Amino acid sequence: MVQWYARTLIDYLIAAGGILLVMVLVYYGLTRLGLRREAATGYALIMPWLLGLVIWTAYPIGASLYYSFTDFNGLQPPHWVGLSNYQRLLAPNSYFWPSLRMTLLYGALSLPIGLALSLAVAMLLARDVRGIGFWRTMFYIPAVIPTVATIILWIWLLSTDGLVNQVLSPFYRLVGMQRPSWFTDPRYALPGLIIMSLWGVFGANTVILLAGLKNIPHHLYEAVEIDGGGAWAKFRYVTLPMVSPTLFYTLVLGVIAAVKTFEPGVFIRLPRATGTFLQVLVYQYAFGTRALMGLASALSWIMLIIIALLTLLVFRTSALWVYYEGERRR
């Protein structure tokens, strides 16, 4: 046991020493070459990140693109197969399609509902409520609970005899339905996952949106009041435009996070018909018994394209609904 820790510590010190050495060499090398000392210092200081960019981002991006055109199990050298990984994924009967549907539906439902809820709570909290610190602290707790813990808790809460079904049982009796076992029934798996995500996610977004709301100058609301506008007018013409940049930020991060959802799909054995999250599929291909790393790389590239397209869509449409105070003044 001690030797594992020691081994990692040695690796850690070697890497730290190596990075430090590179920083020093960059500084002296660049000043030797006649660069201003300030510029050389700047380059030296960003070296940890720049090295990381090359080693752990740029090279891996290139390598994974290459792997995606190969048959690769991680042991033997990659073997070029052209587009066949992509063809296999996009074939009509591929497991990719139900998983794509699942991931996109999950994002398309959990994200807007979650954002609307967080905005509603944030607006309530922005109303000079008493004990704002207390409320903010409480509403943020779910975001602090480790994802893994949240998932296990909700598997328990949403099991057939779980608390949620117990609480809802009068309602079930009323409409004459059986208690669902949320995560094993294909019809309830997605709603179950969304309920879980809503509990976990709206904490962080609420805090961010609250900060955005608190930045809105009060005189704008007074102006609406003088013009005889009511609560709706205040929301529509002041709150929404002023908070839209913050909303935009949470939306972009939310899209990326939704496509990257991983832990729930690993912990919860979803029924095959529902598909699974795309990132789980990547993991299963790459690290399953058959180690289909080429296929997994191709799928991760498809995910990147999906994220890029969705982000682009959000950015493109943002011109229609995101209002920047500074822009108009310019």
Partner 1 sequence: MAITTATRASERRFTLGRRARRLIADGLTYAILVLGLLVVLVPLYWMVATSLKTSTALFLIPPQIVPQPIRWHNYVEVWRLVPLAQYFANSIFVTALAMGGEILTCALVGYGFARYQFPGRDLLFAIMLGTMMLPGVITMIPSFIIWARWLGRYDTFSPMTVGALFAWGPAYIFLLRQFFLTIPRDIEEAAIIDGANVVQLFFRVMLPLVKPALLAIAVLSFSGNWNNFLSPLIYLSTPDKFTLPLGLYQFNSALAGGGEAPKWNYMMAMTVLMALPVVLLYFRAQRYFIEGLTVGAVKA
C-beta of 203: minimal distance to partner 1 in Å? 8
Residue closer to partner 1 by CB (options 8, 317) is 8
Look up tokens 């496509």; give the residue.
Answer: 259
Residue closer to partner 1 by CB (options 53, 177) is 53
Residue closer to partner 1 by CB (options 88, 136) is 136
Residue closer to partner 1 by CB (options 127, 218) is 127
Residue closer to partner 1 by CB (options 223, 252) is 252
C-beta of 88: minimal distance to partner 1 in Å? 17
Residue closer to partner 1 by CB (options 21, 92) is 21
The alpha carbon torsion through 183, 301, 112, 138 (nearest 10 deg) reads 70
Return d(Cα 145, Cα 92) in angstroms, integer. Answer: 40
Copy the structure tokens of residue 249.
């930020």
For 261, counting Cβ atoms within 10 Å of its Cβ (0-12 exposed, 13-18 middle, 19+ buried), the class is: buried
CA distances for 190 relative to 99, 239, 251, angstroms? 12, 32, 20
Return d(Cα 50, Cα 37) in angstroms, integer. Answer: 19
User: Using an 8 Å Cβ cutoff, are 237 and 153 in contact?
Assistant: no
Return d(Cα 1, Cα 161) in angstroms, integer. Answer: 41
C-beta of 224: minimal distance to partner 1 in Å? 16
C-beta of 186: minimal distance to partner 1 in Å? 18
Q: Please tell me the number of Cα atoms within 13 Å of 315 on its side-chain side.
A: 7
C-beta of 91: minimal distance to partner 1 in Å? 21
User: Using an 8 Å Cβ cutoff, are 104 and 278 in contact?
Assistant: no
C-beta of 287: minimal distance to partner 1 in Å? 6
